[in-house]
């Protein structure tokens, strides 16, 4: 919510944050810096005054972290660059605290079906270089950062998974 400018509506809005910039955040002098898109930025304004607010570019806002509560299950949106040896996806719609501390992938075929840790790439994107023996279907295990809650989306990526497609699990926190 913004209050400092005359164009501010002083009505709170809810946005989903997918990445953060702790610390100096580009020397803006604040402990956090949120890059809001034009729609979210404009929603902070009084009716028909969004251009006045957006023209400033930088606003001091008040914010409060709230738990996510999506009506659907966790979804895995495959990166366009994914292929049989490189797996990258955006993890969407997880309820609760929202911060993932660990994401792991498991092959549904073969005798070597250990959980393999994925790397946090950016935002809600996680990736892994796949060894040749790791084949779909894939299960994905999510562990939250703060509470260490664990959730498994079994066989969420089918044998014929493809880049650019989204795969919906049957689970959520």
Cα 90 to Cα 49, 71, 74, 75, distances in angstroms? 34, 18, 10, 8
Buried b (16+ CB within 10 A) or exposed e, 67-85: eeeeeebbbbbbbeebeee
Render pLDDT for 20-59 as a digit per residue (tens, 0 to 9). 665 556 656 666 777 788 888 889 999 999 888 877 677 8
Q: What pLDDT does residue 17 have?
A: 79
Cα 86 to Cα 74, 83, 110, 118, 123, distances in angstroms? 21, 5, 19, 11, 18
Q: What pLDDT does residue 20 have?
A: 66
Per-residue pLDDT of the chain (173 residues; tens, 9 = 90+): 888 888 999 999 998 877 666 555 665 666 677 778 888 888 999 999 988 887 767 788 888 889 999 999 999 999 999 999 999 999 999 999 888 999 999 998 766 689 999 999 988 999 999 998 899 999 999 999 999 999 999 999 999 999 999 999 999 99
Backbone angles phi, psi at 42, to 5 degrees: -65, -30
Domain with CATH 2.60.40.760 in the chain: 75-168
Q: Residues 34, 60: contact at Cβ < 8 Å?
A: no
Q: What pLDDT does residue 124 have?
A: 93
Fold of the 75-168 domain = Immunoglobulin-like (2.60.40)
């Amino acid at each position: 919510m913004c209050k400092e400018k005359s164009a501010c509506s002083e009505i709170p809005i809810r946005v989903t944050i997918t990445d953060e910039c702790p610390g100096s955040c580009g020397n803006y002098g604040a402990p956090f810096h949120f890059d809001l898109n034009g729609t979210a930025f404009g929603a902070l304004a009084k009716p028909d005054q969004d251009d006045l607010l957006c023209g400033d570019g930088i606003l001091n806002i008040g914010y409060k972290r709230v738990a996510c509560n999506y009506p659907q299950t966790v979804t895995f949106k495959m990166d366009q660059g994914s292929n049989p040896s490189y797996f990258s996806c955006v993890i969407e719609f997880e309820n609760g605290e929202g911060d993932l501390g660990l994401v792991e992938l498991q092959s549904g075929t073969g005798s070597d079906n250990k959980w393999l840790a994925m790397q946090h790439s950016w935002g809600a994107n996680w990736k892994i270089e796949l060894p040749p023996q790791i084949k779909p279907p894939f299960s994905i295990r999510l562990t939250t950062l703060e509470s260490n809650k664990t959730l498994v989306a079994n066989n969420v990526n089918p044998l014929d998974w493809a880049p650019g497609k989204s795969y919906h699990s049957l689970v959520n926190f």
